[in-house]
Every structure is written in C-alpha cells, then in structure tokens.
Structure 1
Amino acid sequence: MAKGKEYDKLLKKRANAVKALQYHEKKVKDMSKDASNAEAFNRMSEIEHSYERFKLIISEMEECDEFDFNDLDPPTEDIREIFITTMAVLRIHTQGADGSSVLNSTTNTRSEKKVKLPDIVIPTFDGNYKEWTTFYDSFHSLIDQDTELCDVDKMHYLKGLLKGTAFKTISKLPITEANYKIA
C-alpha cells in the first residue's frame, strides 16, 4: 500500500531524528571522564531537544490515516531507551563529589526546593471548547510564559499537544518563529 507524500516526509523526519539521537548516544559513549560539565550540560540540552522533536514527529505520524506501527524502525521504545540511558550517563557525569547534581545547582533555581514535585502534564486539546480553558491556562503558564523557550520550541510543543480538529487547524503551518504567534 502506497503512503501519502506528507506521511513519507514524516517518516524521513523521524529517521533524521533517530540519527540525531544515535549520534548523541555515540558522542556520550566516547566522552572522556575528564570532559567538562559544560560539555555534558550542552550534550544534555541537545539530546533533550532532539528527543522532544522525535516525540512531536511521532505525534504527527499518529494523526495520519496511513500510520502503521510497522513503519517505526527502530521501534519507538528503542529510541526512548537510547534517550533514557544516555541522559542517565550524563547525569552521573555531572554529579559533584558529594553526589549532588551540579546541573540542579547551576541551571535551575526552581530545583532548590527540598521536595521533588511530580511533573505537570499539559492536557492535549482536540478542539472541544469545554476543555479550552484548562488547556490554555496550562499551556500558557508552562510553555508560553517560559522565557527560556524560543517561539520555534513553543510551536513544537503546541503542535505536539493538539489533536483532531485543533491540530488540523494549524497542521499546515511550518514550525517557525512567526507562525507561533499566528497559531
């Protein structure tokens, strides 16, 4: 069965995202124990960005009528494992002599709380007006108001959190700084 052009593009984007994550995995395996914390932090940021991109592509693929789990080679679970294990190695690398994370002490002032709060999950939005306020308030406070995210990243998050008619409304917009404001 022939696949549509848009779906084929998504398959290629997924393949590129997989290659990026595999590249980072190799770089982390080859990273010396003497590598700087800055190098490890930069690699963590790159991997997180690549994995978020990968997840957004998968979300877009799942919206397609042609979607087939057999098209996902390597399987998504394998890519998730690459992400988890690579990040774990980097976290170990960035631990101080006392076992505390240098990452927490230097990059995120919110993490100075003594209690680790569970991650907040932003609900997806499918166009149902009854769920708009909940979606908007969560998205606005956690993504839109985050000054560390550029508009391209915010657009990635937005597209990844929409489905159904809401997703179709903006699905044709390329992910750019200008289109985030439009979306």
Structure 2
Amino acid sequence: MAIDLKELQFKYNRITSRLEKFSSFLEIEDNKTKIEEIKERLRGVSSSLKDVEDVHCKIEILDRSKANEDDLDKYKNLFYKVTSDAKLLINSISNKTDIINSNFSESNPQVKLPNIQLPSFSGSFTEWITFRDTFLSLIHNNNSLTKIEKFHYLKSSIMSTASQTIEHLTPSDSNYESAWSLLTSRYENKRLITQHHVRALFSLPNASKDAKTLRHLLHGLTSNMKALEAVNRLIIEQ
C-alpha cells in the first residue's frame, strides 16, 4: 500500500508539474506568437484535469490525510486559467493572421502584433459601457471558450467594489451566467450611467493654452460624449 501511495503521489506531482510548466511558458513574451507550439502544449494538458482528479481520488481511498482538497482546487483554477488563456491567445493570433493575409502579399515581412489586453472594471459607472462592450466582444460571445473559462476571465477582469458583487460564486457553467447577470443588473443603470458621465463632463478643467491640459480636456469630452451616445442607443433599442 505504501508503495502504491508513493507512486500515486509521484504521478500527481508529474501531472501538476506539466501544467505549471505550460503556465510559465505562456508568461514569456516571445512564446506568445508560437501558435503551433501553444496548440501542441494545450493538447498535452487537455486531459490533465481528469487525470489529476482520478489520481486524487485513488490517493484519498488509500490515505485520506494525503489527499489535499485545497491543492486540487488550486490545480483546477490554474487549469481553467491556463487553458482559457491559451485558447484566447490562439484565437487572437489566428484572427490577426487572417487580417494580415487579406491585406498584405506573401512577400511582406511578418509583423509582430500586440497582444489583446482584457478590459478591467472597478465598479465605476463611467467605466461600465466600455468594459461591457469589450468583454462581450472578446470573451462573452467567444464560442471557443467554455462558460467556466469565461467565468475565470470575468473574475480576473473585475476588481474593487465590482468584485464584491460576485465574490460568493464558485466556478461553474451556471454561475457564469449568474455572475454576468448580477453585474449587468447592478451596473446597467442608464440613469446612473448618464449622471456619472454628465458629472465627469462638468468636472473637466477649463480650457487653457497648455497643451497637456487641452489634450486632457479633449479626451474627457470625447470619451464621455461617446459614452452618452451609447447610453442613448441603448434607450432607443429598448
């Protein structure tokens, strides 16, 4: 029994180590354009969650004290994060490659494109429309991502008071829908959004000859007016 347990623990560590190495690989900037290697590594870890759960179950049968539930939960969270990051990166590279191929001839040198940055949302009503539209486009409407993967992206994108809205929810298909519904119910408030953007407009500095102040004023006017136009479209569509 002791030998079997040691073998299971060794197998458990070997499986978890493979995912950790993949996670480290994705964090290296130069690796983020190696689409074929990313695909191959993703295939290599795709079944690791089931494998590690099977090994965990066997360890629990032999010696319950050696089966650490916290470690298993951490592995699950890492698995969903790493696999969803990899899928999003693959889609991002593929989409950009299609655009390049449709606009440039094969004789053009390869262009290194910037990575897509996920939006963040702290709970400010002035941030909501931009966050919502970007998140819908990149994550929510992305059919290549599972709902659990979308849930992890959502939780990693929100912070401060916004994160408190869904902090009680654990990763699951149904909870992703619940989390998104809770956020939209709280922040899809057109009256409050309008009030905050109007207040932001009146808080802008007075015009001056200083170039930096003028740029700040122009940016504030443009961003808040576009947000108000978006709110108006929502009202008309309803």
Q: How would you bin the TM-score normalised by the shorter chain?
A: 0.3 to 0.5
From the CA coordinates, give the structure whose radius of gyration is larger: 2
Q: Please, what TM-score do these two structures have when normalized by structure 1?
A: 0.45
Q: Please, what TM-score do these two structures have when normalized by structure 2?
A: 0.35
Which gives a bigger RCO, structure 1 or 2 (Cα 8 Å, sep 6+)? 1
